[in-house]
């Protein structure tokens, strides 16, 4: 079955349908990550990818990891596709971590890879997909969330030949993009599950801490308008705000139980960022939410939707009442707010599938 599937992708590449070339290869998993049935990686290349702001990206590459085997109906259409979307600072590979994939993709688990064909997509600007650090640096087109969804859509439809999905689900930024999927492609899926997100333009506290990061990068003298040859380092002193915002007070207290421990932890965070982060990639990640605002078109969502948030999530404050108002406008929508407990980690509870996979089982019924 795998050989047949890879052959079909090779054929798609040869035909170059609609200016899209598909490619696939069997690639081993990273150390420490489990392997799943028929796990492989591939790229879909769009020769001229047009962005909503009028910019274009030539030979845009959209990377994905796929698990499982496609099941087909009598017409040959894939019937068991599932698309999972990652957060702002991650990639599709995050879902292979034991606290996610280990709870979701195994035998008898909600997204059993023996039952579903699972696509872990790298959004534009992330992972193996086209991004500023590939070479264009600050000249890379300024993509938004709608552009990211378009890249995912073309990967699924033109690259992998899937016309309909069982589920689109995502965490954080991926959750926000899940709302966009439901509005822009309402007949494309049976179910939607946005996790750790709200269907409203980013503002208030959520925008203020993001703006801090954006301004720290743009005002770092070493950034040089994005045309640096050595990585800037000054802005990394501001990046620990990310860790502060996405973890709850209990986790941070455990990690930094004294003044000295907090200083040490802060210094370690800064050192880690300086070693692992590309300034342009990071800047584009946080600026790309500029076009996110699904609020005006929630009525367009047709699929069954279960939205999951966490009561101790500072990025998506439950007290704003956004979710309750949104559910009244979605025909088949349901909202699950998971109370704070010793199992939750604020926004980062999204990494703990054991906490929220019950809601996933519900949306798949």
In this predicted structure, the answer to whether residue 25 has a pLDDT above a threshold of 70 is: no
pLDDT on residue 5: 43
In this predicted structure, the answer to whether residue 119 has a pLDDT above a threshold of 50 is: yes
User: For 124-129, what is the mean pLDDT?
Assistant: 98
The confidence band for 9, taking pLDDT boundaries of 50, 70 and 90, is: very low
Interval 26-48: pLDDT, tens: 344 565 666 788 999 999 999 99
Interval 153-176: pLDDT, tens: 999 999 999 999 999 999 999 999
Nearest to residue 205, comparing CAs of 289, 307, 320?
320
What are the residue numbers of the active site?
Answer: 172, 313, 347
Per the CB < 8 A criterion, the answer to whether 123 and 151 are in contact is yes
Q: Which residues touch 344 (CB under 8 Å, ≥6 apart)? A: 248, 310, 311, 312, 338, 352, 355
**DSSP secondary structure string for all residues of 247-314:** S-HHHHHHH--SHHHHHHHHHHHHHHHHHH--HHHHHHHHHGGGG---GGGGGG--SEEEEEEETT-S
Would you mind telling me the total number of residues written for the chain in this entry? 365
Q: Domain coordinates of the chain in residue numbers?
A: 40-201+292-364, 204-287
Nearest to residue 29, comparing CAs of 62, 2, 65, 75?
65
Phi and psi at residue 35, to the nearest 5°: -105, 145
In this predicted structure, the answer to whether residue 287 has a pLDDT above a threshold of 80 is: yes
Interval 132-149: pLDDT, tens: 999 999 999 999 999 999
**Rounded to whole angstroms, how far apart are CA atoms 112 and 104?**
7
Tokens 């690639």 belong to: 27
Q: In what order do the strands lie in the sheet with 117-121?
A: 20-25, 40-50, 56-67, 117-121, 81-85, 165-171, 189-195, 304-310, 333-338
Per the CB < 8 A criterion, the answer to whether 245 and 315 are in contact is yes
* Structural tokens at position 300: 């367009």
Residue ranges in the chain assigned as alpha helix (H):
2-15, 101-104, 145-154, 173-184, 204-218, 240-246, 249-255, 259-276, 279-287, 322-327, 353-364
Nearest to residue 243, comparing CAs of 222, 265, 216, 219?
265
Interval 235-275: pLDDT, tens: 999 999 999 999 999 999 999 999 999 999 999 999 999 99
Per the CB < 8 A criterion, the answer to whether 94 and 100 are in contact is yes
pLDDT on residue 11: 34
Fold match, 40-201+292-364 / 204-287: no
Q: Which CATH number fits domain 204-287: 1.10.3720.10, 3.20.20.70, 3.40.50.1370, 1.10.1740.110?
A: 1.10.1740.110
Between strands 117-121 and 56-67, the pairing is antiparallel
Per the CB < 8 A criterion, the answer to whether 120 and 95 are in contact is yes
The confidence band for 13, taking pLDDT boundaries of 50, 70 and 90, is: very low
As assigned by CATH, the class of the 40-201+292-364 domain is alpha beta
* Structural tokens at position 280: 């342009």
């Amino acid at each position: 079955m795998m050989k047949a599937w890879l052959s079909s992708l090779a054929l798609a590449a040869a035909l170059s349908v609609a200016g899209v070339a598909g490619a696939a290869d069997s690639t081993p998993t990273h150390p420490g990550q489990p392997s799943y049935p028929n796990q492989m990686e591939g790229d879909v290349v769009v020769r001229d990818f047009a962005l909503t702001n009028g910019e274009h990206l030539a030979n845009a590459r959209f990377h994905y990891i796929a698990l499982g085997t496609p099941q087909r109906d009598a017409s040959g259409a894939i019937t068991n596709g599932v698309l999972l979307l990652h957060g702002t600072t991650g990639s599709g590979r995050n879902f292979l971590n034991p606290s996610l994939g280990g709870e979701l993709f195994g035998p008898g688990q909600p997204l059993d890879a023996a039952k579903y064909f699972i696509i872990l997509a790298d959004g534009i600007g992330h992972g193996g997909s086209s991004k500023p650090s590939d070479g264009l640096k600050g000249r890379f087109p300024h993509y938004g969330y709608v552009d990211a969804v378009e890249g995912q859509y073309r990967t699924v439809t033109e690259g992998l030949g899937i016309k309909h999905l069982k589920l689109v689900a995502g965490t954080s930024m991926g959750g926000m993009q899940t709302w966009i999927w439901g509005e822009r492609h309402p007949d494309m899926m049976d179910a939607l599950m946005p996790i750790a997100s709200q269907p409203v333009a980013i503002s208030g506290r959520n925008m203020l801490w993001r703006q801090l990061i954006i301004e720290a990068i743009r005002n770092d003298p070493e950034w040089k308008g994005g045309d640096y040859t050595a990585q800037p380092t000054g802005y990394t002193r501001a990046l620990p705000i990310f860790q502060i915002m996405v973890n709850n007070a209990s986790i941070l207290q455990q990690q930094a139980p004294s003044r000295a421990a907090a200083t040490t932890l802060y210094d370690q965070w800064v050192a880690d960022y300086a070693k692992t982060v590309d300034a342009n990639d990071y800047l584009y990640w946080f600026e790309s939410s500029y076009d996110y605002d699904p609020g005006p078109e929630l009525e367009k969502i047709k699929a069954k939707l279960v939205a999951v948030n966490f009561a101790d999530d500072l990025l998506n404050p439950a007290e704003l009442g956004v979710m309750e108002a949104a559910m009244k406008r979605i025909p088949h929508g349901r909202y699950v707010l998971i109370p704070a407990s010793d199992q939750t980690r604020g926004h980062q509870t999204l990494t703990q599938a054991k906490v929220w996979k019950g809601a996933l089982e519900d949306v798949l019924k």
